[in-house]
Chain A
Amino acid sequence: MSDFLHFSEHTLQEVALSFMALVYITRLIWLLHFAAGRERQAPTGSKDTNPTKGFIYSWANIAMPWAMESTRTKFFLYLQFVSFHLGVTAAIALSFVIPYAPSLLDSPALVILLQTIIGLAFIVGVMRIIRRVAGPYMRAISSPDDYFSLLLLTVWFAFAFLSVPNSTAGGEWHLIIYFILTAFFLAYVPFSKISHYLYYPFTRYYLGKTMGRRGVYPVRRIPRSDTTRTVQ
């Protein structure tokens, strides 16, 4: 391993991680300085639910494609979402496994599993780029940050895929690029839309709490096929 690769895997990552943590803490403090709106009214809607159930349902929404019409009716897009985010998780995990627990990658099964997950995420990334560029609705709502983040993540997936075996037999360049990209992401993410995962717990918590208090969450629906059922 060259000194530069070692630097990329360790020092660079640690600095970038510290920077990200600092920026995130600053960001959270900023977000929390806004007062949370207070709900004064007595609960409405079904007595079976409450704010706690509401926000748990809201948080779990990510794993319940049937819960929203937008994911229920576009299941393929939901599968893409799952593949893409599993790929992100795997690629992040890889950036810790390679420097701190490389022996794990001696397992061919784990290598194949990670490459499958990251490879699928790469394909989804390409599909998402096409969707964003080709669709007039997506183009209309996209900013340079949207295009850049997606493009960069897709490229990152490609290098993560190549880096999974942690082999330098064919050279170190793929590992170096992967770690430099990872470090770049750590520094860039707090300023880009990729930081959405930081806000997800907030938005979902508050929406879920409100909707739980008002008896809307968990959503109750009767499928169209069940024409005989009425609520009594």
Chain B
Amino acid sequence: MKIGLFIPCYIDAFYPEAGIATLELLEKLGQDVEYPLDQTCCGQPMGNSGCNSDAAAAEALFVRNFARFDKIVMPSGSCTHHVRDNFDAIPQTDEVRHVRENTFELVEFLHDILKVEAFPWAEFNHTVGLHNSCGTLRALRTASMSELGEKPFSKPMDLLKKVKGIRFVTPKRPDECCGFGGTFSVTEEAISARMGVDKVRDHHDAGAEYIVSADSSCMMHQQGCAERAGVPIRFIHIAQILNGAAQ
């Protein structure tokens, strides 16, 4: 199985350590991974803004980069959601369908495809609050949603529980959106920032030292809010913990 690694633009530019951890983790798990150098973006910002036709060039490039892989893995729920569910600015050829059907968010790839049993190298002696992005929670369904009253499950939690030393706390409103929302964070900046502050306070009040998430975009926003509001809490991508971050 040849894996193509997609690193979203904001991880590439702001959180390279999350990208490196994703790659190293997949390599530790014995996977054959390659990062095509000509990648840029999945097209999500344009799609979410309603400017879907403007996503065509990014989507076409994405397919050009990744069509030759068996599976495409990315450390981002919202990008995976875009590719899987909204990637329609370009004609839906067999190649495009192949790419869309074989794109996975990292957690679901580890949990559902590789079915990883253990991360013997991983130890994290901290108390963490898990932030499920709305993309992973309600679009990719990697955890149960509080609105539906379904039987509780959580793929990211299943993975994190295999890490030595880690402790968990649950905020009061675990499924509440943190307010990032892509361009929403700019067009509705006041509400967005308020949601972000409420979110980081909720985790902090629950006793979390770290917020851990499969989505760096949410954390980029939350970190900005926490730093401005003076909420002492740190942020880490789930790939970094599973890869054995010692912080």
Question: Are A and B genuine complex partners?
Answer: no
Query: Which A positions have Cβ atoms within 8 angstroms of B?
Result: none
